[in-house]
Amino acid sequence: MTSVRSWWPTAGVVVVAPIAGTLVVVNPRAGLVSAAALSVISFATYYRKRLPGMFLVLVGISLFGYTFLGKGFAYFGVAPLYIGELLLLFGVLAALLGGGFAPALRSPISWLVILWAVWGFVCTAPYLGVYGLDAMRDATIWGYGAFAILIAGFMLRLHWWTKAADAYARWFWWFAFWSPVAGVIFATMERAIPRVPGTDIPLLFVKAGDFGVQLAGLATFVLVGLADSQWRGRTHRTALEWLWWMGWLAGVAITGTASRGALMSVFVAVALVVVLQRRVQLWKPVLVAFVFGSVFLSADIKLNAGQDREVSADQIIDNLRSIVGGRTNTSNLEGTRAWRLNWWQDIIGYTVHGRYFWTGKGFGINLADDDDYQGTVNGLPNRSPHNIQMTVLARSGVPGLVVWSLLHITFALSLVLAFFRARRDRREWWARVNLWIFSFWVAFMVNAAFDVFLEGPQGGVWFWCLIGFGIAALEAQRAERSAARPGVMLPRSLP
């Protein structure tokens, strides 16, 4: 077997060299891309059985990049193939050569993901020739769903759910300290930040909603108890834990003042954990928040947070008022709320009550231009109506919204039921995982109701990978229950 496999790299070089050499003469860029693609295929064929594990590792690295660098990391690559698309192509290659994604198809949630992708394709295909890359870019709402199937399948094959949780605890834990630093750097020194090669996008691009969702995921991960091993492994644990919550709250203050979606995603996710979890050590973040709030109010501290907003107690109060529909002291909050509501009413009018009922306006058209809502907020260019449900409705019609809603309702209910079942069976680790995935998913959905979030890679790739992890977790628990003999108590945690 070794002798048969050993000739693959040599054969690959023999094939790649003349093709690349010819293309370089005709078109240097095409030659380099082709050579790289063929080299990857040769490498993948040789190591095909290791590809699923490689893909999961690369996904973890990419999620780290999306989290810490934001939109800047998303622009690594060569248009139209950026890091997200390249990663997805590698995952498809891993599935074709290495196999192993079939276990994901045991889950009805996976079939709902596929159904959503099929309907999305139906609403995209007629517009590919008209809008080209714009149609493909908008199609990432359903196209990135492939990440969910690949992640779930490969995790179930390799039993990597504990590795994923450990990796998150080890590496993403530091985001609480990084988020306020990154927010200050981006707000005060954006022009000095190096650009991603070949673009004018800063390497660090802090979008408040994106950072807010990640802060929500971190807080819930800690509150459900999945980070306990991380605390135990540190010296000066108590002091470090206090510092961690201080850094986390500073990040929430910066992102929460710049984005209502960020503020609500954190609040709702943490509230769900508090309500559903039996024992939540919430007094430390509450005490830190009380001290911070008292200092800000008494000293009337105001810091620039970008986007014509400042970090202050008044701004956070205004954001909360605007969410619940109250009057605010900030004109831009009133303007953006009215702008969104008017646009959403128009979308409901031409879909639910209009001629775009069945397939919407499709993927590719600029909705802001076509609906005459372009540049009405801060003069910024828009493509989508700052609400994922409205985007789905406008682009895929009422049937698309039904499929989308059915997918996520099924996913959420499955996690909640699995949480109560695991808690009843005293499988604490699984109960914590179910609650964390559910609360993190809620944070994504809340922010997506306020912002263009899941339509981009830094939100979309993360979102579908989380759903894939959720599918794997649900299927792993189902397999455990099926394997357990009647009358025998299920294990409290994974072996």
Domain membership flag for residue 254: yes
Same domain membership, residue 38 and residue 117: no
379: region left, alpha or beta (phi > 0 left; psi from -120 to 50 alpha): left
Same domain membership, residue 91 and residue 36: no
pLDDT in tens, 134-193: 999 999 999 999 999 999 999 999 989 888 988 998 888 899 999 999 988 998 888 899
Instruction: Tell me which residue of 203, 183, 208, 180 sits closest to 191, measured CA to CA.
Output: 203
Does the pLDDT at position 363 exceed 50? yes
Least confident stretch, 55-64, 311-320, 362-371, 421-430: 311-320
Helices (H), 105-203: 108-122, 128-131, 133-138, 140-143, 145-158, 161-171, 175-189
Cis peptide bond upstream of 80, omega within 30: yes
Residue with the bigger pLDDT between 451 and 119: it is: 119
Helices (H), 279-427: 283-299, 313-324, 331-351, 367-370, 388-424
At 493, is the pLDDT very low, low, confident or very high (cuts 50, 70, 90)?
A: very low
Amino acid at 231: W
Question: Residue 313, Cβ neighbours under 10 Å: how many?
Answer: 19
Domain membership flag for residue 132: yes
Mean pLDDT of 219-246: 81
With a CB cutoff of 8 Å and minimum separation 6, the contacts of 209 are 255, 259, 261, 262, 265, 447, 450, 451, 453, 459
Residue with the bigger pLDDT between 469 and 40: it is: 469
Residue with the bigger pLDDT between 328 and 446: it is: 446
Q: For residue 77, report the phi and psi dihedrals to the nearest 5 degrees.
A: 130, -170
Q: State residue 115's pLDDT score.
A: 97
CA atoms within 13 A on the CB side of 70: 21
Does the pLDDT at position 87 exceed 90? yes
CA 100 distance to own-chain centroid:
23
For the chain, how many structural domains are there in total? 2
Same domain membership, residue 92 and residue 42: no
Does the pLDDT at position 132 exceed 50? yes
Same domain membership, residue 328 and residue 236: yes
Percent of the chain with pLDDT over 90: 48
Q: Quickly list DSSP for 360-388.
A: TT-SSS-HHHHTT-TT-STT---SS-S-H
Same domain membership, residue 93 and residue 35: no
Question: Distance between terminal CA atoms of the chain?
Answer: 34
Domain membership flag for residue 473: yes
Domain membership flag for residue 170: yes
Mean pLDDT of 241-257: 88
Do 429 and 492 form a contact (C-beta atoms < 8 A)? yes
Alpha-carbon dihedral angle through residues 227, 229, 231, 234, given to the nearest 10 degrees? -140
Does the pLDDT at position 29 exceed 80? no
Tell me what the pLDDT averaged over the chain comes to: 82
List the beta bridge partners of residue 70.
205
Domain membership flag for residue 490: no
At 3, is the pLDDT very low, low, confident or very high (cuts 50, 70, 90)?
A: very low
At 491, is the pLDDT very low, low, confident or very high (cuts 50, 70, 90)?
A: very low
Give the span between the Cα atoms of 347 and 337, in whole angstroms.
16
Q: State residue 338's pLDDT score.
A: 79
Does the pLDDT at position 128 exceed 50? yes
Q: Copy the structure tokens of residue 84.
A: 């997200």
Do 412 and 441 form a contact (C-beta atoms < 8 A)? yes
At 340, is the pLDDT very low, low, confident or very high (cuts 50, 70, 90)?
A: confident
Same domain membership, residue 370 and residue 433: yes
Same domain membership, residue 210 and residue 359: yes
Cα→Cα distances 74→62, 90, 212, 457, Å:
9, 16, 17, 6
Does the pLDDT at position 361 exceed 50? yes
Q: Dihedral sign for Cα 195, 197, 200, 203, please.
A: negative
Question: Residue 132, Cβ neighbours under 10 Å: how many?
Answer: 12
Domain span at residue 159?
87-189+205-483
Least confident stretch, 40-44, 79-83, 158-162, 235-239: 40-44
Residue with the bigger pLDDT between 106 and 33: it is: 106
Give the span between the Cα atoms of 495 and 480, in whole angstroms.
11
Domain membership flag for residue 321: yes
Same domain membership, residue 5 and residue 123: no
pTM: 0.86
Do 53 and 60 form a contact (C-beta atoms < 8 A)? no
Domain membership flag for residue 148: yes
Same domain membership, residue 183 and residue 91: yes
Q: State residue 311's pLDDT score.
A: 58
Q: For residue 202, report the phi and psi dihedrals to the nearest 5 degrees.
A: -60, 145
Residue with the bigger pLDDT between 441 and 329: it is: 441
Mean pLDDT of 396-424: 96
Alpha-carbon dihedral angle through residues 416, 422, 424, 428, given to the nearest 10 degrees? -120
Domain membership flag for residue 58: no
Same domain membership, residue 93 and residue 38: no
With a CB cutoff of 8 Å and minimum separation 6, the contacts of 115 are 403, 407
Same domain membership, residue 174 and residue 297: yes
Mean pLDDT of 44-59: 81
Please report how the helices 237-258 and 313-324 are oriented relative to each other, as an axis angle in degrees rounded to 10: 60
With a CB cutoff of 8 Å and minimum separation 6, the contacts of 219 are 248, 266, 269, 270, 285
Q: State residue 102's pLDDT score.
A: 84
Q: For residue 81, report the phi and psi dihedrals to the nearest 5 degrees.
A: -100, 95
Helices (H), 6-80: 8-26, 28-46, 51-69, 71-74
Same domain membership, residue 40 and residue 124: no
